[in-house]
Structure 1
Amino acid sequence: MPAKGKHRRPKFSALHRGIALAGTGGAVLVLPVLGATAANAAPAGAVTEPAAAPATYVVAAGDSLATIAQEHSVSGGWESLYENNRDVLGGDPGLIHPGLKLTLGEKDAAEPRPAAERADRSERDSAAAEPAAAPAEKTYTNDLDGWIKESLDIMAQHGIPGTYEGIHRNVMRESSGNPMAINNWDSNAVAGTPSKGLLQVIAPTFAAYHVPGTSLDSYDPVANITAACNYAADRYGSIDNVNGPY
């Protein structure tokens, strides 16, 4: 009997068709190994297409964000277009000029904005959230100058004509600027309705031409002036047209 020999197991390539040696007594058979490549080859990896970059548009003369957003069907309109291009447009969406390159689609949401831009936006958002401060109430001095100026503002609200000079001229003639002046000797006084105040208004005239929002006291400087000017406008067209007793 032939001596037992040592046989080495042949190696197979995963990439090529191989052969196997099989002993059958003294003969050697060559057997093809089929399917080695198909069984062991790694499948080809799928090729991933890179995401398409957002479309861009170069601003032309006469463009606005609204027209660009409408013509290119930008989702979210001009506001979205502005938000996606704040780094190009800056702080005013109305100021665009030819040559600017705008991104029409959504930019990468993960892309952080510059710190300065985030701070600027935060400040503007905070300012927008705060209610607007009420305008300061106008004040007037408690003297003839202040009384005339306050009266003129009230007269303007009610469409009553008159100027500072016209009022001042008549005040100085009628009362010399004394709001407590009273005439106790003329015909009105004899009839029981003396003329009172800066522009010497009698009670019936004051009641008829009193301007809403002013005092009901005919000695009150502003109430006296506005009532007298209202009367003068009705009778003479304006206190400016009064140059003597009226």
Structure 2
Amino acid sequence: MPGFTLPRAVRTTRITRTHKISAAVVASASCAAALALTAAPSNAETTAAHAPAAVKPVSANGLPLTAKDRADDGKKDQQLASSLTTGLKVTAVAKQGHTAKQAADRSADRKVIAAPKAAAPKAAPKAAHKAAPKAAKRYANNLDGWIRESLDIMKSKRIPGSYEGLHRNIMRESSGNPNAVNDWDINAINGIPSKGLLQVIQPTFDTYHVSGTPHKLTDPVANITAAANYAAHRYGSIDNVNSAY
């Protein structure tokens, strides 16, 4: 089988694995062509005995590959596979780092967006609604108003008595005159006359005076509440009084 020899210019050039494989293919094709030309034209059938032998791999210069050539090619294949694997790993690590950086950037962006919300001052709590002070109750400056004011004070001090009981005794004692003075009874003779709506003497008024009222015997409200307080201690209630007391 004739050999396939590369020109001198080609032999001096560094031959890569790809060149080697291409050259081997060309050499094999040349050998096959040569075998076809030597076959007899009249022989239409080729027996198994005359079949061409299996083509063996050859090197770039046409010679069969040696064990060393195959070992070198195997090492190059391993180096190429290792390079590809290393490249894939480097690419994966770079991609992972890029993904991690993107995630960190997104997290930082969320923190920057959330920061103004967190820094926003909280709205001051609304001041508790304070109930307006209750307006002082006003009473008419007459007998009805004096009795009603006295009843409210008596209620706060837990002094018993009713409007009817107060009104009834007032009308009997003074006819509703806050300045009425008794100058003829025993008290008057003793120099301590009864005075006011419920005809109270000064010692009794001083003893049973109710705090929150003027300390004046003839003051209508003070006179009523002191007399009701005295009656509560002696009779249980002003309602139980139906005559001089």
Using the size of structure 1 for normalisation, the TM-score is 0.55
Correspondence 1:191 to 2:196 = no
CA–CA separation in structure 1 for the residues paired with 2:12 and 2:136: 117
- Aligned runs of 1:1-246 on 2, under 5 Å? 1-2=8-9, 21=18, 26=60, 30=73, 31-32=76-77, 33=80, 34-41=82-89, 42-43=92-93, 125-128=125-128, 130-246=129-245
Residue 200 of structure 1: CA displacement? 0.8
Q: Is the 8 Å Cα contact of residues 196 and 217 (structure 2) preserved in structure 1?
A: yes
Secondary structure of 2:216's match? coil
Residue 2 of structure 1: CA displacement? 2.4
Larger Rg: 2
Residue 218 of structure 1: CA displacement? 0.6
CA–CA separation in structure 2 for the residues paired with 1:21 and 1:212: 123
For residues 102-155 of structure 1, what are the alpha-carbon distances to aligned partners after superposition, in whole Å with 9 as ceiling and x for unaligned?
Answer: xxxxxxxx7xxxxxxxxxxx89x4153x44433333222222122112111211
CA–CA separation in structure 1 for the residues paired with 2:232 and 2:140: 26
CA–CA separation in structure 2 for the residues paired with 1:137 and 1:223: 18
Change (3 A) 1:37 1:137: farther
Q: Is the 8 Å Cα contact of residues 19 and 60 (structure 2) preserved in structure 1?
A: no
CA–CA separation in structure 2 for the residues paired with 1:242 and 1:210: 19
Residue 217 of structure 1: CA displacement? 0.7
CA–CA separation in structure 1 for the residues paired with 2:193 and 2:85: 126
Residue 4 of structure 1: CA displacement? 9.2
- Higher percent of residues as helix: 2
CA–CA separation in structure 2 for the residues paired with 1:239 and 1:5: 145
Q: What is the identity, as a one-letter code, of the residue corresponding to 2:146? A: W
Q: What is the identity, as a one-letter code, of the residue corresponding to 1:126? A: K
Residue 40 of structure 1: CA displacement? 2.7
Query: How many residue pairs are counted as aligned between the two chains?
Result: 160
Q: What is the identity, as a one-letter code, of the residue corresponding to 2:171? A: M
Sequence identity of aligned pairs in percent? 54
CA–CA separation in structure 1 for the residues paired with 2:11 and 2:143: 139
Q: What is the identity, as a one-letter code, of the residue corresponding to 1:36? A: L
Q: Which has the higher contact order (CA 8 A, sep 6+)?
A: 2
For residues 192-235 of structure 1, what are the alpha-carbon distances to aligned partners after superposition, in whole Å with 9 as ceiling and x for unaligned?
Answer: 11111111111111111111221111110110001100111111
Residue 159 of structure 1: CA displacement? 1.9
CA–CA separation in structure 2 for the residues paired with 1:142 and 1:5: 139
CA–CA separation in structure 2 for the residues paired with 1:126 and 1:228: 50
Using the size of structure 2 for normalisation, the TM-score is 0.55
- Higher percent of residues as strand: 1
